[in-house]
Amino acid sequence: MASADLITDPLLRSVLTSAAQARQQSLAILDLIDTFHASEQGDTASQYELSKQQKLLNAHLAQLRSLNRKAVLGVRSTKQGTAEARSEIDSLHLQLQNLYYEQRHLHGEIAACEDYKHTYTDIPMISSEEFLALHPEHAESSEHDVTVARIEDEHSQRKALDEQKQALVKRKEALGKGVGAKKDELAKLDAEMEKWVAGQEAIKKIFVARDAKMADAT
């Protein structure tokens, strides 16, 4: 494959075409010069033809310089565009890498959230089926909303039980105070009974002693 066939850019191909034309024109002029010097005296027609070919060569060279200048500027512009495109590609590649990193990070966060052991899972609650049977208004709710409703229901149930417990504790304390007061009264009554029994024993001894004296006197 010829080197010219490797070039596909229209501007560069026009430069090559113009250069080839200038070369051919230069060779034609050289032939005319050889012919002109070979003759003993250059005739006017040969001089005119040589001048004509030189002007044509100058035109080809001027066109070649113009096309070459455009080609150089085009190459510079292409290089600049390539550098800008490469910079943009590098920037996009960096952004893509950052997105991949963020994606992996988010996947890790999602997995951590999915594997997280929530506190509510340790709370003994009624099953979803039992809850929906008791609360049919949540039948069309999502699983998340049903779970939230179950937790709220469990909280209200426990709150009510705690209130009942507090009421029972207060009642127990009140009964305890009443029992304590009655125990104190019984203790006082026991003390009085012991005193009375002790008094009865003393009186009994007095009567026994008197009866003994009366028996001795007779």
Q: Judge if 10 and 67 occupy the same domain.
A: yes
pLDDT along the chain (218 residues), means of 10: 60 75 78 66 66 79 81 82 89 93 91 75 78 87 86 86 88 78 78 77 73 70
Q: Judge if 74 and 15 occupy the same domain.
A: yes
Q: How many domains is the chain built from?
A: 2
Q: Judge if 76 and 142 occupy the same domain.
A: no
The whole-model pTM stands at: 0.36
Residue 162 lies in a domain: yes
Neighbouring C-beta atoms of residue 67, cutoff 10 Å: 19
For the chain, give the longest Cα–Cα distance.
Answer: 215
Give the CA radius of gyration of the chain.
62
Of 89, 15, 26, the residue nearest 54 (C-alpha): 26
Q: CA-CA distance, 30 to 40, in Å (whole number)?
A: 17
Residue 54 lies in a domain: yes
Could you identify the residue written with the tokens 């049903």? 146
Which tens digits make up the pLDDT trace of 38-69?
A: 665 556 666 777 777 778 878 878 887 888 78
Of 27, 55, 84, which one is at a domain's C-terminal end?
A: 84
| Three-class DSSP category at 144 | helix
Residue 14 near residue 67 (C-beta atoms within 8 A): yes
Q: Residue 57 sits in which domain range?
A: 3-84
Residue 201 lies in a domain: no
**Would you state the structure tokens that stand for residue 194, as one six-digit string?**
């012991």
The residue type of 175 is L
Q: CA-CA distance, 142 to 206, in Å (whole number)?
A: 94
Residue 95 lies in a domain: no
**Would you state the structure tokens that stand for residue 155, as one six-digit string?**
């909280």
Residue 158 near residue 151 (C-beta atoms within 8 A): no
Q: Judge if 79 and 9 occupy the same domain.
A: yes
